[in-house]
Amino acid sequence: MGGAEPAAAAGHPNGHANGGVAEKLDELRRQLGKADGDPLRIAGVGAGAWGSVFCALLQDAYGHLRDKVQVRIWRRPGRAVDRATAEHLFEVINAREDVLRRLIRRCAYLKYVEARLGDRTLYADEILRDGFCLNMVDTPLCPLKVVTNLQEAVWDADIVINGLPSTETREVFGEIGRYWKERITPPIIISLAKGIEASLDPVPRIITPTQMISNATGVPFENILYLGGPNIASEIYNKEYANARICGADKWRKPLAKFLRQPHFIVWDNSDLITHEVMGGLKNVYAIGAGMVAALTNESATSKSVYFALCTSEMIYITHLLEEEPEKLAGPLLADTYVTLLKGRNAWYGHKLAKGELTLEMGDSIKGKGTIQGVSAVDAFYELLSQDSLSVMHPDGDRSVAPVEMCPILKALYRILIKRELPPDSILQAIRDETMYDPRERIEMAQGHTLYRPSLLGQPGGVAKA
C-alpha cells in the first residue's frame, strides 16, 4: 500500500522533543486501554485538503513511533490526474529541493517526469502516497499510508477522522457501519465536515454530520466529536500559527485536545458541539456571498464590512432557532467565520461566479478545490427555515413569518445558487435594501429567547450540551 516515511528520530517537523510527544501518545493509549505491542490505529476517511493535512499533521508528529501508532488514510481509487495538473505538479516538485530529493530516494521521481511528458497517467491515491493532495498540489505533504479499500482502512481503527464533505458523510459511514457490526468497543470519531442536511418529514429538522455518523454507525454520540477552527489547510501545514476547537462530550474532548495540540496548532476544547458544527455549515453559506461582494465591489472594504455585519447577524439569528443558549459568535467561533469569508474555497467560488470565471452549470465539485459545501448548505438552510410551521413574529409585531424572511442574504443566495433566477450581482441589492432592519435588531430578537425551536434538532424537549 505504500508506507509513510518516519520523521527523524531526534527532532521532527513540528518541533516537539521526542519525550513530550511519546508521553502524550502513551497517555492517550492508556485512556483507550491499548496493550503494549498493540498500536493505536488512526484512520482518515476522505482525502480532501483538510482531511489530508490533518492526517499529515498526525503522521509528522507521531509517525516515528511506529510501534505505538499507525496513521493511514482512505480515498477512493481510480481518480486520474489530468495532464495540466501533472505538469503543474512537476513544477512544484522541482521547485522544492527537499521534495525532489525525497522522490528520487523513493525511486518515485521518474513517474512524475513521464506524467509531465504525457507518457503516463497518475492517480490521486498514488500521488497521495508521495505526499500530494489533488485538491492542494501546491502544498507538498509528508508521504502517507494510503488505503483504497474502505473496510481495510477502518475495520480495526481506534480513531477515525471524517474528512469527507457533509454530502458524502451519510453514505460512506453507512457502509462503515456494516463493517463495525461485530465490534465490541466503539471507535472515537473526529468529524471535520462542515455542512448540514435538512429533513422535512415528519417535522422540519436539521441533521449535522455528527448526527449522520451516529445514525449510520450506531457509535454512541459521546464518542463522536467535531473539530473546527479559523484555519486554511495549506497554511496550517506550512506552520502558520493556528488554533481550533474540538467539541463534544467530556469523556474524550479534553484527552483529544491534548493529543492533537502542536506548537503551531493549538487545540482547545468546548462542550457546545451543536453551535460549532452548525456554524461550520453556516459560514460556508455566507462565504459564497462574501466572495461575490468582494468581486463585485472591487474588494471594497466598506462593502465587505457591511456584508460581514449583516451575515453574522443572520448566523446569530439562525443558531438561536436551534439552541436555547448557543455560544456567542465571538473569539475563535467568530475568527473561524472571518477566515472562511476572507480566504476559503467557498469565498473563492463566489468570487469566481461573480467574475464570470465559473458558472453554476459546472456544478459544486470544482477541479483543484473539491466540493463547495456551501452550495448544498444554502439549499438545506433555506428549505428548513422557509417552513411556515416554524413561524416567528415579524419585527413589526403584526404578523408571523417563516424564519427565512428575516434572513435576506440567505434568501438571495438561494435564488442565485439554487433556483438560478437571479444573477450573482443581485447579492448587492440584498445588502443595500433601504427597508432592511438594523442587524442589531435581528440579534436582539435572537437573544430574546423566543426563537428557540427544539424540534429543529430532532429533540422534542431540546438538546442539552454535551
- Catalytic residue numbers read 283
Handedness of CA 443, 317, 278, 410 (dihedral sign): negative
Q: Is 402 exposed, middle or buried (0-12, 13-18, 19+ CB in 10 A)?
A: middle
Please report how the helices 109-116 and 83-95 are oriented relative to each other, as an axis angle in degrees rounded to 10.
130
Supply φ then ψ for residue 350, to 5 degrees. -60, -40
69-74: strand order across its sheet: 145-147, 69-74, 40-45, 159-162, 188-191, 224-228, 242-247, 265-270
- Cβ(292)–Cβ(350) below 8 Å: yes
Look at residue 402 and give its three-state secondary structure.
Answer: coil
Kindly compute the dihedral angle of the four CA atoms of residues 55, 56, 60, 63, in this order, to the nearest 10 degrees: 50
Residue with cell 439549499: 379
- Distance between CA atoms of residues 246 and 256, nearest Å: 8
- Cβ(51)–Cβ(192) below 8 Å: yes
Provide the β-strand partners of residue 189: 160, 224
Supply φ then ψ for residue 401, to 5 degrees. -140, 160
* 400-401 vs 392-393, strand pairing mode: antiparallel
At a CB cut-off of 8 Å and minimum separation 6, what does 432 contact?
none
Element (H, E) at 83: helix 83-95
- Distance between CA atoms of residues 448 and 461, nearest Å: 19
Peptide bond into 460 cis (omega under 30): no
DSSP string, 224-293: EEEEE-S--HHHHHTT--EEEEEES-HHHHHHHHHHH-BTTEEEEEES-HHHHHHHHHHHHHHHHHHHHH
> What angle (nearest 5°) sits at the alpha carbon of residue 328, between those of residues 322 and 330?
140
Look at residue 108 and give its three-state secondary structure.
Answer: coil
- Distance between CA atoms of residues 186 and 33, nearest Å: 13
